[in-house]
A = this chain, B = another copy of it.
């Protein structure tokens, strides 16, 4: 049950994530939009006007994470915050024209990234990978243990 790979999965996962992150950052250097920021752009592309907390949940970010991301993207004029008319605590997020343009660019770039991510593997193999990655969300839950 313990293959030689076991020992390195933690490391491989970490390296893979950093490599992808760095590559995307270098790729989108001119637009200034990072991978994390693209994530929020995609959310807003589907549901413009979501609550900050909803966006965080969709991106699997805790309150401090999404709050900081929103700050940076607001400063970069990619999104805009407006108070929720029905709830004085809540804020809704909206794409700016700049954000919309960045989203279009991100969508275009995603095709190549996905090609790089899946090339050389069969659909069945990619399914295994996707299933494994998804399963980690259950195996390593946010809240407590066991």
Contacts and interface: CB of A to CB of B under 8 A. Distances in A.
Interface of A: 1-3, 5-24, 26-27, 35-36, 39, 59-60, 110, 113-114, 116-121, 123, 125-130, 132-137, 139-142, 145
Contacts of A18: 60
A4 to B, nearest CB: 9
Given A14-B39, A15-B133, A23-B140, 12 more contacts: A3-B118, A5-B127, A9-B114, A9-B118, A10-B24, A10-B35, A10-B110, A13-B16, A13-B20, A16-B17, A22-B140, A116-B139
A140 B3 contact: no
B11 A39 contact: yes
A128 to B, nearest CB: 5
A35 B13 CA distance: 12
A26 B2 CA distance: 25
18 contacts: A5-B130, A7-B114, A9-B126, A9-B130, A10-B20, A10-B35, A12-B134, A13-B17, A13-B133, A15-B133, A15-B136, A17-B17, A19-B60, A19-B141, A19-B142, A26-B145, A120-B135, A125-B128
Which residue of A18, A113, A127 has the most chain B CB atoms within 10 A of its CB atom? A18
A85 B10 CA distance: 34
B116 A16 contact: no
Contacts of A1: 118, 123
